[in-house]
């Protein structure tokens, strides 16, 4: 098998659409800062958003990650936004809201800071933070869909997403069908006159499939549907789906965005302000919002996202190099490999290939489970994207809900979330675990 080059750093994806004033995202939903307040602020200084005293003064990701939404506290000068651990806010007379805040389910300054940061990093018009990735997905589906509508989902998706469609959404009378999203013809064939959304993950979980986002967007839009991209594996540092034509980006903030395995959260970022306001209305009505401390933790995590993703990608490339030559490994799934069927597309739309690696082992399911059990530096556990390396058996763990379906994963599959430890330690640990 061809080796993945260390780091695999590619040229940057296409520049985000619009200038800084388009990425300065204001809260304009029920219960949040009003549209009038937002427009007044923009009139004074179009580079400022409602909750920022500093400007979005850079187009560079690393600078935006540290400064977007992160305003020095006006009272003390603290360089880190405070945790507004508060449920309600004093009003200056009935309807006299300070900065638009009245109740923290509707809006909270710490959550607003995170939402501005997320929107800036994804190049979107609106960012919304939720209690979990699945809470974000649930809000999106209930906003976009009605009974009788149809959704196309990928044949390789996170088990929780599949469960949401198969066990929950279907009970509302929403229809769904499965397609190989890496195949434009298969995606096009799955569309119906009732299709309102096309859902893709790229890279996918856990088989690391790659979907051409621009092509999928064209297919969805030709059919009158919206394209939703789960960007959890890539993060906005490696890939920006909105710039490639997607309508909505979904994140599990629990993973790389938080980055330290200490928070659960989710997010939606939209290319369209109107859709963002519809989602904000449903978020407020349904209530699955990110708490202030969780928002603060994720906001801390995004500041180091760029340097972490570079290290995750570099370490993953070295792990893949060893696995590709190991006699007990029958197949390595990683888009950085030249023989990966999605390699060319990934190289076109991603900055680097990321820290997620899956591989299949000789000896079947029991051998795969044994590898997971023997790992020492790699921690056996679900989730991914933390600074520590994780190993799991998807068939028995994260994707057990897909057993017996079109999304069932191979029994001999092992999934790695390659952390930022010393790469030699990670390689040697896998070598001993494989035996």
- Evaluate whether 280 touches 119 at the Cβ level (below 8 Å): no
Instruction: Tell me if residue 230 is catalytic.
Output: yes
- Tokens describing residue 177: 């069908």
* Two tokens, residue 184: 């434009």
3-state secondary structure 294-359: HHHHHHHHHHCHHHHHHHHHHHHHHHHHHHHHCCCEEEEECCCCCCCCCHHHHHHHCCCCCCEEEE
Q: In what order do the strands lie in the sheet with 150-154?
A: 126-130, 266-270, 248-252, 226-230, 195-201, 150-154, 175-179
Does the annotation count 101 as an active-site position?
no
Q: Which of 84, 138, 156, 158 is catalytic?
A: 158
Residue the block writes with tokens 């590709």? 324
Catalytic pick among 105, 142, 348, 374: 105
Which among 255, 308, 311, 318 is annotated as catalytic? Answer: 255
Helices (H), 327-407: 343-349, 364-374
Q: Which residues of 218-227 are buried (b: 16+ CB within 10 A; e: fewer)?
A: ebbeebebbb
Q: How far apart are CA 175 and CA 387, in angstroms?
A: 38
Closest CA to 217 of 229, 232, 207, 208: 229
Burial (0-12, 13-18, 19+ Cβ within 10 Å), 361: buried
**What does the block give as tokens for 4?**
């993945």
Catalytic one of 149, 156, 212, 230: 230
Greatest pairwise CA separation for the chain in angstroms: 73
> In the numeric block, which tokens belong to residue 29?
């939903």
- Catalytic site positions: 105, 158, 230, 255
């Amino acid at each position: 098998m061809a080796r993945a080059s260390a780091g695999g750093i590619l040229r940057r994806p296409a520049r985000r659409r619009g200038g800084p004033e388009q990425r300065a995202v204001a809260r304009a939903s029920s219960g949040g800062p009003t549209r009038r307040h937002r427009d007044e602020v923009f009139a004074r200084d179009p580079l400022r958003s409602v909750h920022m005293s500093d400007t979005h003064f850079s187009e560079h990701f690393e600078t935006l990650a540290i400064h977007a939404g992160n305003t020095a506290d006006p009272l003390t000068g603290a360089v880190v936004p405070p945790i507004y651990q508060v449920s309600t806010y004093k009003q200056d007379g009935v309807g006299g809201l300070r900065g638009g805040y009245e109740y923290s389910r509707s809006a909270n300054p710490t959550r607003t800071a995170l939402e501005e940061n997320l929107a800036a990093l994804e190049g979107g018009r609106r960012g919304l933070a939720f209690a979990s990735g699945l809470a974000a997905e649930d809000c999106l589906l209930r906003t976009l869909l009605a009974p009788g509508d149809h959704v196309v989902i990928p044949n390789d998706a996170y088990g929780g997403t599949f469960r949401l469609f198969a066990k929950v959404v279907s009970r509302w009378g929403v229809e769904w069908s499965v397609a190989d999203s890496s195949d434009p013809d298969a995606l096009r064939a799955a569309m119906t006159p009732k299709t309102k959304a096309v859902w893709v993950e790229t890279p996918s979980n856990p088989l690391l499939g790659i979907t051409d986002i621009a092509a999928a967007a064209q297919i969805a839009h030709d059919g009158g549907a919206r394209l939703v991209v789960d960007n959890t594996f890539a993060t906005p540092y490696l890939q920006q789906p909105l710039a490639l034509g997607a309508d909505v980006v979904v994140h599990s903030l629990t993973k790389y965005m938080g980055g330290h395995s200490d928070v659960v959260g989710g997010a939606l970022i939209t290319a369209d302000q109107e859709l963002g306001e519809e989602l904000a209305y449903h978020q407020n009505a349904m209530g699955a919002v990110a708490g202030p401390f969780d928002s603060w933790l994720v906001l801390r995590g995004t500041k180091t996202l760029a340097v972490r993703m570079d290290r995750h990608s570099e370490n993953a490339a070295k792990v893949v190099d060893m696995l590709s030559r190991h006699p007990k490994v029958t197949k390595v799934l990683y888009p950085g490999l030249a023989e990966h069927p999605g390699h060319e597309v990934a190289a076109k739309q991603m900055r680097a290939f990321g820290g997620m690696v899956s591989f299949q082992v000789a000896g079947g399911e029991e051998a795969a489970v044994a590898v997971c059990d023997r790992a020492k530096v790699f921690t056996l556990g679900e989730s991914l994207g933390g600074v520590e390396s994780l190993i799991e058996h998807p068939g028995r763990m994260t994707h057990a809900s897909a057993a017996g379906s079109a999304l069932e994963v191979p029994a001999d599959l092992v999934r790695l979330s390659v952390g930022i430890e010393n790469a030699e330690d990670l390689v040697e640990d896998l070598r001993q675990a494989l035996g």
